[in-house]
Structure 1
Amino acid sequence: MKITKMAKANEIKREWVVLDAKDKTFGRLITEVATLLRGKHKPCYTPHVDCGDFVVVINAGKAKFSGMKLDDKEYFTHSGYFGSTKSKTLREMLEKHPEKLYKLAVRGMLPKTKLGRAIIKKLKVYNSETHPHSAQVSKQG
Structure 2
Amino acid sequence: MSTTLAKPAEMADRKWYVIDAAGKPLGRVAAKAAVILRGKNKPTFTPNVDCGDHVIIINCDEAVLTGKKLEKKFHRTHSGWIGGLKETQYKTLMA
Find the counterpart in structure 2 of residue 49 from structure 1.
Answer: 49
Counterpart CA distance in 2 for 1:88 and 1:8 is 46
Letter in 2 for 1:83: G
Letter in 2 for 1:5: T
Aligned-residue Cα RMSD (Å) equals 1.8
Deviation string, structure 1 residues 69-115 (Cα, Å, up to 9, x no partner): 011101111112211211011122233xxxxxxxxxxxxxxxxxxxx
Deviation string, structure 1 residues 18-57 (Cα, Å, up to 9, x no partner): 0010011111111111100000010000001111100000
Q: What is the TM-score of this pair, normalised by structure 2? A: 0.88
Q: 1:52 to 1:82 in 2, by over 3 A?
A: same
Counterpart CA distance in 1 for 2:9 and 2:82 is 47
Give the % identical residues. Answer: 43
Decide which moves more: 7-16 or 67-76: 7-16
Counterpart CA distance in 2 for 1:9 and 1:87 is 45
Question: Structure 2: which 5+ runs fail to align?
Answer: none
Question: Structure 1: which 5+ runs fail to align?
Answer: 96-141
| Rg larger in structure | 2
Find the counterpart in structure 2 of residue 22 from structure 1.
Answer: 22
Structure with the higher fraction of residues in strand conformation = 2
Counterpart CA distance in 1 for 2:4 and 2:31 is 26
Find the counterpart in structure 2 of residue 38 from structure 1.
Answer: 38
Find the counterpart in structure 2 of residue 6 from structure 1.
Answer: 5
Counterpart CA distance in 1 for 2:81 and 2:50 is 36
Find the counterpart in structure 1 of residue 66 from structure 2.
Answer: 66
Give the length in aligned residue pairs.
94
Q: What is the TM-score of this pair, normalised by structure 1? A: 0.61
- Give the C-alpha shift of residue 10 in structure 1: 5.4
Q: Which has the higher contact order (CA 8 A, sep 6+)?
A: 1
